[in-house]
Amino acid sequence: MQNHRNKKTALWIVLAIIIVAVIAVSSIAIWNFVISGGNEENQESQGIVLDDSAEDWDGNTKDLSEGQAGIKIPGYGDISVPAGESVWNITLANPEDNACYFRYTITIDDDEMPIYESDLIEPGKAVREFEVSEPLDPGDYEIHLNISTYSMDDTMTPMNGAVVKADLHVI
């Protein structure tokens, strides 16, 4: 009788150890999934999402930096887009000399609600065509190209950014 009770106790101990081990392994797996955001790709697991529509860009821009080091920000003159169209052909570039990612957020006039936000654009690449959230009526507007910059290491530390303003003609 004593022997049967010892076997039963030993069985319960082994079963408890197995349950604890399964819970521990499951917890570690869930934790890793949550930390990585469920993404398997290395860049995406680090929070880096590069813009798929960005393509190589070798545009010639006038360098006004007079040899000073720093992030190069493109300038924009007057911009024209067709009225009622939600696909715009405006080049959103990150000059190849930069050692940072760019993210463009576009707003119109004093409206703080963006009509477009790019994913990260690598140096030497540009988005040449994008879709805005809402087409505009004919008229003249002020477009704000808000450029956020991020380091290219694992930390993606925000760096200096800029807001480039230009006249937008919707015709």
In whole angstroms, give the CA distance from residue 129 to residue 94.
Answer: 14
59 and 16, same domain (yes or no): no
Residue 93 is part of a domain; what is its CATH number?
2.60.40.2550
In this structure, are strands 92-94 and 125-127 parallel, antiparallel, or unpaired?
Answer: antiparallel
24 and 63, same domain (yes or no): no
- What is the layout of strands, in order, in the sheet containing 125-127? 55-56, 125-127, 92-94
136 and 75, same domain (yes or no): yes
Q: pLDDT averaged over consecutive 10-residue blocks of the chain (171 residues)?
A: 72 81 72 52 57 78 66 93 96 94 97 96 96 96 97 93 96 95
57 and 117, same domain (yes or no): yes
147 and 69, same domain (yes or no): yes
* Overall domain count for the chain: 2
Which range marks the domain in which residue 137 is found?
47-170
pTM for this one? 0.68
